[in-house]
Structure 1
Amino acid sequence: MARVTAERVKETKRELLEAAQQVLLEEGYSGLSTRRVAEAAGTQMSQIQYHFGSKEGMILALFEYLNSQLIDRQTRTFNNPDLSVSEKWALSCDYLDQDIGSGYVRVLMELTAAGWSNPVIGAAVSSAYAEWRDLILKLAREVERQNGSLGPFTAEEIGALVSAAFIGTEAAIMLGYESPEIPFRDALRRFGKIIEMFDRTERQE
């Protein structure tokens, strides 16, 4: 019997997660099953049970797999000392477009809805939202230290509002509720112009 290496186990799990993402994007959470994922991956259902235990375990692993990559990307961006705050904001807007295109936002929205009736999934999604909020909060506190003020807002309020703005934009776009009259993405990008004023003030001082 051939020895199964740790690398092969890791590769198998990745293949199963990619198959789960494919099925989720094509058929939604209601159409997601271990049978469909096994078919998409060209393997047996027992492989899913072995690696993840259940459909719920597979979903949670998929979400962690996708979300951790994006958190790492955003952390690197926000921690880059060579970027101004407005440049970090512009990149975040670019990432929004990329994440919609990659299917991540669809997965996030599907699991958000599933989390309303499944407490375990709901807790995982809430934790992910908190991670995003914490990144924005950290950046807001940095701006506050540099400028001494965020106008009438606290850093905590900025973290809450900005994270809600991006999440709401993602949900609206997925529903097709965006148009020239309701320009969510353009509005987010234009908000970067306000941030640029903080950047210029800091440079002048």
Structure 2
Amino acid sequence: MATATTAPRTQQARREATRNALLEATIQCLVQQGYAGTTTRAVAERAGVSAGALQHHFASKQELVSEAISYLSSKLTTQLIERGLPSASSRRQLTEQMLDYLWQTLNGPLIAAATELAAAARTDPVLRERLAKAQRQAIEMVPLAAQQLFPEQAARPGFTGLINTALAAMRGVVLLGFVSSADKEEAWRAARPQLLAMVKGWQG
């Protein structure tokens, strides 16, 4: 009986490992090669699996890339929550931690991959439909994670709106970095004090 119950779990673990490897490979392809270069063959080769194995998990490229965004946003959110934040000695320090947490979240493979897909989705209705759901999930995860990391702040009215407003401003700054990292850093140095002032005004 022990052998009979162990085998299915091992098989499930292998399936999950293959699926995760494909999703990780998809993100890497999107960031390094763009959407056009993210072919199912390229993803399968990078993940070290056959094309048939990929098709077993994902029926289309659109499904693969949209699932990769959901997977990565969930993974990053979990990592941020588990890592936590150092204790803050003042309200200002807590506010700075909150903004820097959001900035760190956006400065990684998630925004690069999502931007590639957003551009492609403009003329691909199938991708656009799938990506819309993944994008909503990703957008919702950041405020949820922020609520766990900053529970006292999250208890105040308007917290989610504040987070989403800051994220919208930061996304615009991050996009500058795809062309010039110097422009992005300069824009962030200018935007950060303004966002701090916005949060301070919300705190009262």
Structure 2 counterpart of 1:170: 174
Structure 1 residues 138, 112: CA separation in 2 closer, same or farther (over 3 Å shift)?
A: farther
1:125 and 2:135 matched: yes
Where structure 1 has 5 or more consecutive residues not aligned to the other structure, the ranges are: none
Q: What is the CA RMSD across the aligned residues, in angstroms? A: 3.8
Instruction: Mark the runs of 5 or more structure 2 residues left unpaired by the alignment.
Output: 1-6, 89-93
8 Å Cα contact 2:95/2:196 also seen in 1: no
Q: Which has the higher contact order (CA 8 A, sep 6+)?
A: 2
Conserved? CA contact 1:35–1:45, under 8 Å: yes
Structure with the higher fraction of residues in helix conformation: 2
Question: What is the letter of the counterpart of residue 105 of structure 1?
Answer: I
> Are the counterparts in 2 of residues 29 and 114 from structure 1 also a CA contact under 8 Å?
yes
Residues 32-85 of structure 1, C-alpha deviations (whole Å, 9 max, x = no match): 21112122223211111111222122112211111112233455688x694423
Letter in 2 for 1:185: W
Q: Which residue of 2 aligns with 1:158?
A: 162
Q: Distance in 1 between matches of 2:200 and 2:167?
A: 21
Aligned residues: 187
Aligned to 1:38: 44
Q: Deviations over 1:10-40 (max 9, x none)?
A: 2111221222222222221112211121222
Q: Deviations over 1:92-149 (max 9, x none)?
A: 334444x1xxx22210211222333322213322442344356669999954966xx9
SS at match of 2:180: coil
Compared CA separation, residues 119 and 95, structure 1 to 2 (3 A): closer
Describe the shift of the 1:158–1:140 C-alpha distance in structure 2 as closer, same or farther (beyond 3 A). Answer: farther
- Normalising by structure 2, report the TM-score: 0.69
Please, which of 8, 19, 37 is the counterpart of residue 25 of structure 2?
19
In 2, Cα distance between equivalents of 1:75 and 1:115: 30
Aligned position for 2:189: 186
CA, structure 1 residues 53+155, in 2 after alignment: closer, same or farther (shift >3 Å)? Answer: same
- The answer for the alignment partner of 1:51 in structure 2 is 57
Cα separation, partners in 2 of 1:44 and 1:106, compared to 1, 3 Å: same
Look up the equivalent residue of 2:102 and give its one-letter code. S
Q: 1:42 to 1:157 in 2, by over 3 A?
A: closer
SS at 2:183 equivalent: coil
Percent identical: 23
- Kindly state the Cα deviation for residue 187 of structure 1 after the two structures are TM-superposed: 2.6
In 2, the alpha carbon distance for the partners of 1:95 and 1:189 equals 15
CA change 1:138–1:187 in 2 (3 A) is: farther
Q: Distance in 2 between matches of 1:77 and 1:88?
A: 14
